[in-house]
Structure 1
Amino acid sequence: MLATMTWMDLIDCSSDLSQAITESDVYADYISKKKQLQDDQEVQKVIYEFNQMKDQYEEVQRFGKYHPDYKEISTTIRQKKRELDLHPLVTDFKKAEKELEQLLNEISGILAHSISHTIKVPTGNPYFDQMSCSGGCGSGGSCSCSA
């Protein structure tokens, strides 16, 4: 009976946590930016063109620089990628996506460290993380963390 009550409490707490996340400003901003991105025909056209070029690029990569269209397709895919990355709606979406990822990483760290500080929490690329170490470095404290 006690184990059942503990499990029910855990399920209730996890449900409350997921509801808090979905009601957060960060999540609402992410959903808003995602919808704007999906509804904008100009961006969708650029995404479609980029995906088409990506397919051609993968075909060219099979042969490398010996493919007759290697240079042209390589240049074009870089231009399409840059066009896509610099579009304001795409940059806004990526920023919102990164903020949501950071929130989820922080929550993961808090949950893991509430059990044990030796649990390693993958937080993405350590070179770009805003968080200092988060226990995921595995260096035993050589990065000035408290591991």
Structure 2
Amino acid sequence: MIATLDTVELLNASDELASIILQSELFSQYIEARDRLNQDKEAQYKIERFTTLKVSHEEVQRFGKYHPDFKTVSADIRMAKRELDRDESVVQFKKAETELEDLLNELSGVLASMVSPSIKVPTGNPFFDSMSCSGGCGSGGGCSCG
């Protein structure tokens, strides 16, 4: 690949954007929340327990309600998930992670639209992503996907 002045400028601009993101308040909040979660022994125990139960649940799901432990394993995993979702370290981490993801999704959309308005960028929300056209709808442009 031959480096042109445009390519070098683009690489420099992308490095600058990455640096700005890494220095942002959202990124530092994400790192702090991640570190708190990693250091929280109780939260780590809940995560490990849920992961173990998830493996058991997947095994039971192969046979469905006919598996002898179906009700027990299903109830256990729901309870573990509830405990995990109520843990303050997990809640704070998920919140920080979602906020950072929203920022990155928004930046992706802005960058893509600067290149071409027909570039489709996933929003991170499966509901909205399924509503947008991926370019092969066959409606003849009736869905305004361009």
TM-score category, normalised to shorter length: 0.7 to 0.9
- Give the aligned length: 135
* TM score, norm. by length of structure 1: 0.85
Corresponding residue of 2:62 = 62
Q: Does 1:16 align with 2:16?
A: yes
Query: CA–CA distance in 2 between the matches of 1:8 and 1:49?
Result: 49
Quote the offset at 1:3 in angstroms: 5.5
Corresponding residue of 1:140 = 144
Q: Does 1:50 align with 2:50?
A: yes
Query: CA–CA distance in 1 between the matches of 2:56 and 2:33?
Result: 29
Quote the offset at 1:74 in angstroms: 0.3
Corresponding residue of 2:106 = 106
* TM score, norm. by length of structure 2: 0.86
SS in 2 for 1:76: helix
- Structure 1, unaligned stretches of length 5 or more? 142-146
Quote the offset at 1:137 in angstroms: 2.2
Quote the offset at 1:55 in angstroms: 1.1
- One-letter code of the match for 1:121? V
Q: Post-superposition, which runs of at least 4 consecutive aligned residues in structure 1 deviate over 2 A?
A: 136-139
Alignment RMSD, CA only?
A: 1.9
Aligned-pair identity in percent equals: 47
